[in-house]
A = this chain, B = another copy of it.
Amino acid sequence: MSSDSGFYSIIDYTVDGPETQRELAEAFAEIQERWVRFYPGYLSARLHVSTDGTRVYNIVHWASEADYRDFVETSDTEGRMAAIQQALDGLSGEAEPRMSGAPTYRVVREIGPGPQRTGDT
């Protein structure tokens, strides 16, 4: 399969409504600014909020898996985890993680606009 360059971590939460959703997106943005965005190979964090007010995805893009691994090994993971917990504790409502395994991803396919594919193959 074709593949883009890059490596992703995807942080995924359900929340109890639009106000908690807004607070959690703000909290994740601040975590990036204080704990992540200055490491080599960091490209972006994009905060996706569902239109129904019940979910937040933080999709963090790294230039390579090696950059992500260097970040994990050299950064203050304990401090960052404590900051995340503090942010969660400070929300006015409830937020529940939806991550189910290693939260690291590759993009294996990108399908752009094009004609409708028809037929059996």
Query: Which residues in A have some Cβ–Cβ distance to B below 8 Å?
Result: 1, 4, 8, 10, 12, 14, 22, 25-26, 29-30, 32-35, 37-38, 42-52, 54-55, 57, 59, 98, 100-118
Contact = CB atoms under 8 A, between A and B. Distances in A.
Contacts of A25: 1, 108-109
A101 B52 contact: yes
Contacts of A107: 46-48
A119 to B, nearest CB: 9
Contacts of A46: 4, 107, 109-110
B106 A48 contact: yes
Contacts of A98: 98, 100
B115 A47 contact: no
Q: Which 4 A-B pairs have the closest CB atoms?
A: A33-B117, A52-B102, A48-B105, A47-B109
